[in-house]
Amino acid sequence: MPDMRFHIRWPDGSRDACYAPSLVIKDHLAVGQDYPLDEFLALTRLALGIASERVRERYGFPCSRAEAQLARIEETARRQEPGTVYVEAFEE
């Protein structure tokens, strides 16, 4: 199962390289696109949940790295002012 990173810029200007255990993130986010913070959270919850479920189907357990990444995204989002998250790049 191919994994990847998606690079984002938060509303405060900080940047993150986020992990996904599947390319499914490309079905939910687009490079060069700004997403309102709440929409970004909803899309990453959905995509990382699907990716974790694919790992469960293949290996019999969910992807702990995807769950940890989502927790980090949600924690960082709580510290942000309202604004948009910009998707800078995908890295396979």
Whole-number CA gyration radius for the chain: 13
Write out pLDDT tens, residues 13-43. 999 999 999 899 999 999 999 999 999 999 9
Q: Please list the helix, strand and coil fractions of the chain in percent, rounded to the nearest 5, in that order.
A: 45, 25, 30
Query: What pLDDT is recorded for position 85?
Result: 98
The structure's pTM equals 0.93
pLDDT at res. 1: 63
pLDDT for 6: 98
Report pLDDT digits (tens) over 48-85. Answer: 999 999 999 999 999 999 999 999 999 999 999 999 99
**Which residues lie closer than 8 Å to 74 by C-beta, 6 or more apart?**
41
Q: What pLDDT shows up at residue 2?
A: 83
> Where does 1-92 show beta strands of DSSP type E?
4-9, 15-20, 34-36, 84-91
Give the pair of three-digit tokens for residue 40: 């970004």
